[in-house]
Amino acid sequence: MIEERLASATDLRPSSAFLVIALVLLLVGAKVACAPLIDAGEDPSALRRELAPLPAYDLEDAQGRTLARFLERYDVECSPRSLWQAHTPELLTQQLSAAIGGALAPADLLERLLPGMQSGVLRARDLPLSAVQALAVRKYIEQEKIEGFWVERDTQRGAFLMAWAPTTLLSPEQRARHGHKRMAAWWSQFHKGLLEALYPGEFEELWADQKAWQKRRTAVWNELMPRGHCVVLENLTPDVVLELDRTLRREGVTPLQMRIRATRERAYPQQHWPVLGDWGFPAGSTGTEQVARVGLERSADRLLGLPAFAWIEKGRGSYEYWRHKAAGYRARPYFRHSEVGDPPARVRTTLDLDLQRVMRAELGRVLDKHEPALAMAIALDLESGDVLAVDGVSRYGFANFLPLFHSFTPGSTFKVVTMACGLESGSVRPEDPFDVGHGAYPLTVGGKSRTIREADGSMAKGRVSAAQCLAYSSNAGMAQVSLRIDDVWFRERLVRLGYGARPGTGLGPESPGNLPPLERGHWTRLYTQASIGFGHNLEVTLWQHASALATILRGGRRCVPRLLASVEQDGRREPIAGPEFDPARDQLLSSQTSAQVREMMVLGAREGTGRLVCGPREDLWLASKTGTAEKVEGEMCVHAYGAALDRASRQGRGLTAVEYRAVKAAGRAHQKSCYTSSMALLGRRVDGEREVLVLVVVDDPTKGGHYGSSVAGPAALAILDEALGATRRGEKVELPDFGVFAATELAERNPFEQPWKEALR
């Protein structure tokens, strides 16, 4: 196959290959070994020096496995307008096909070398002829007996077009009939006659003014040959490069006509996950050098530009040669000197390649089974804040990295945050009793009331403790907890936890989410604060929410998730230090508050809403919080938004403001209800200390249920199992028997979690 013959995208050749192949290209056919070196006193104007590209960094995972690096590649570029004024299509394509081992037949090569040709014919569509011009051109063709060039009628525009068959018009037989051996001489004669037919009134004047003549001749030729540049072959292997170079030299093809271009491309040998980002040309750029645009590529590129990493060597490879031309002979290169550039720096990330693969597989299963608009997940080492894996998948063409850009209603997983704020503010204690009613609770503030409803079959009935409010996911209980907190203190603490602001990761576009301002018309205690208490009336991103949950669960110390661990070059390795801990700034909650919340989440995993996911595990200590948020009227369903975005994208544009408002106004018209299903799961091995937090969010599932425990739960547990070593690449690892946790009698009343429902009055 052509790809097998020409491509080498997965061959991780050493960086010096770029230099070696380029050097051979210059020396092939020159018999360097036998050529005498030129004395240093020779004409310095004959000395040439070529530079390899600047060495760039490699990205690797936490175990040192390559995630991204540059590969050298060779492409063949062509200027059809220049090439076919000097060469014969039939003969040259035969030689080129042989040079690439027959990977492309001459006819296939010709199609690439003559872009725009259809069924062997090129048409000058942008140079319509009048009837008079068409008649004159036909007369010229008949008189000169020219084959392969004709005039045809353009019925749509009511004009005439020139059409030609390059293999016929440029054939050796055609030239011979007109007394020419060289292509250039034949073209000169042909163009002179054609321009005389097209512009009879101007011809004498044009012919007398060579500058004007050349300008008009070029304009007509550019219409006959509509493309000035094309890429003919890509990703050539070294053996093909050398043979092709010999052929081009032998056939006298100049670099202006066709050249082998040495370049490089960013390769992702494991898999190109969205978090890695990419390299490309900046918007509006006319340069030829690609830059790191988004993701870890962008973060690493900026990191290496800091003064702290000025020690990294960035010497470019080079080679020097003398280029001499004896009278009557083509110029030939003679090798003088070469240098190998510095090896690229290796930027080690915190990612675990195997865990990243398992996470992608689990999110893919969620996408297939539940058909959501999108699914996201992140796994954090709780103590260090290292991001072990992070990913997002979607059925739609969302351009930005979902964990940073997609905002959603968190639902019941936010109850962890509310409870932490209640405990920290001194407004509530774990044992405090709350009356949550029996499925519906009338909440009254300042003489106004609303009804807060629990999920059908909820375990939370009558009087329950604050701890049980969180473990059993009581909406009424958590609304009451939130109302005990001073509103100014509550919102300020949410801001310090990272909500309502872009996290500033440097990975690319980020969403701040939506945290209502503490202003009249935006924030009321009965509606805003009470709803925030059980995870509504605000929007968060996966990154924000995971960071806040990790902060709460690791002793109240601010967690800033990090992805870059160290930089290494030539044996020197420098760790990438995070921000220095400042107690006044970074101790957001007390260790006591953290411990109390953890105990409540353990209760949730043992006998609360997470029990069916966590079950009795002999090998793992688990703490959980599930979430199932039904979108309220006016809240946009992601399926509707994604479908509208894709329709616009197929038309080559973005979504207009009018279209966006229409989708938002439609709300959940495409289905009865829309949900966001999620699960936060903290765990460690019972014989270990390392703790990992996993957060999975599934937005707008449409099949197979919508409860957080059943939609997001299995994926969260599978990811946690892999992170803690209970599985290896998704396969179960047998561990010793450590006994089981027992569930209380109350737990038997919770066969499944159902979404909360509320009614306003």
251-308 pLDDT per residue, tens: 999 989 999 888 888 899 999 999 999 988 777 665 567 788 999 999 999 999 999 9
Residues 6+ apart with CB under 8 A from 577: none
Residue percentage of the chain with pLDDT more than 70:
84
Mean pLDDT of 125-151: 94
Quote the CA–CA distance of 35 and 33 in Å, as a whole number. 6
Quote the CA–CA distance of 374 and 395 in Å, as a whole number. 6
Is pLDDT larger for residue 183 or for residue 315? 183
Quote the CA–CA distance of 698 and 700 in Å, as a whole number. 7
Residue 747 pLDDT > 70: no
Phi, psi of 69 (to 5 degrees): -160, 165
Quote the CA–CA distance of 687 and 691 in Å, as a whole number. 11
Q: Which segment, 85-89, 346-350, 574-578, 700-704, is predicted with the most confidence on average?
A: 346-350
- pLDDT tier, 213 (very low <50, low <70, confident <90, very high otherwise): confident
Q: Tokens for 170, please give them.
A: 């440029």
CB 565 within 8 A of CB 62: yes
pLDDT at 216: 86
Determine the residue type at 84.
Answer: W
CB 244 within 8 A of CB 95: no
Residues 6+ apart with CB under 8 A from 729: 354, 357, 358, 722
**First vs last Cα of the chain: how many Å apart?**
69
DSSP-H helix ranges across 9-75: 16-27
Instruction: Give the position of tokens 């030829």.
Output: 288
pLDDT at 631: 87
Determine the residue type at 392.
Answer: G
Classify 141 as helix, strand or coil: helix
pLDDT at 313: 87
Cα 593 to chain centroid, rounded: 39
Quote the CA–CA distance of 98 and 473 in Å, as a whole number. 72
Residue 464 pLDDT > 50: yes
Question: 595, 602, 596, 549: which is closest to 413 by C-alpha?
Answer: 549
Question: Which of the 8 DSSP states describes residue 344?
Answer: P
pLDDT at 15: 46
Determine the residue type at 656.
Answer: T
Residue 176 CB: number of other CB atoms within 10 A? 11
pLDDT at 173: 94
What CA–CA distances, in Å, run from 398 to 405, 645, 647, 654?
10, 8, 12, 11
353-396+404-563+571-631+673-759: CATH superfamily: DD-peptidase/beta-lactamase superfamily (3.40.710.10)
Residue 451 pLDDT > 80: yes
Residues 6+ apart with CB under 8 A from 588: 493, 496, 497, 551, 556, 557, 558
Phi, psi of 720 (to 5 degrees): -65, -40
Quote the CA–CA distance of 621 and 397 in Å, as a whole number. 38
**C-alpha Rg value of the chain to the nearest Å:** 35
Quote the CA–CA distance of 47 and 24 in Å, as a whole number. 17
Element (H, E) at 154: strand 149-154
Instruction: Give the position of tokens 């995972």.
Output: 61
DSSP-H helix ranges across 313-432: 353-370, 402-405, 415-424
Mean pLDDT of 171-184: 92
CB 605 within 8 A of CB 741: no
Mean pLDDT of 430-448: 93
Residues 6+ apart with CB under 8 A from 652: none
Query: For all residues of the chain together, what is the average pLDDT?
Result: 86
Quote the CA–CA distance of 47 and 319 in Å, as a whole number. 11
Ranges 184-188, 211-215, 496-500, 642-646: which has the least confidence: 211-215
pLDDT at 336: 58
- pLDDT tier, 33 (very low <50, low <70, confident <90, very high otherwise): very low
Question: Which of the 8 DSSP states describes residue 86?
Answer: T
Q: Tokens for 271, please give them.
A: 């898999």
Quote the CA–CA distance of 155 and 114 in Å, as a whole number. 25
- pLDDT tier, 428 (very low <50, low <70, confident <90, very high otherwise): very high
- pLDDT tier, 541 (very low <50, low <70, confident <90, very high otherwise): very high
Q: What is the largest CA-CA distance in the chain?
A: 107
- pLDDT tier, 558 (very low <50, low <70, confident <90, very high otherwise): very high
Question: 279, 234, 244, 229: which is closest to 68 by C-alpha?
Answer: 279
pLDDT at 2: 46
- Cα atoms in the Cβ-side hemisphere of radius 13 Å centred on 671: 16
What CA–CA distances, in Å, run from 40 to 46, 48, 205, 325?
11, 13, 54, 17
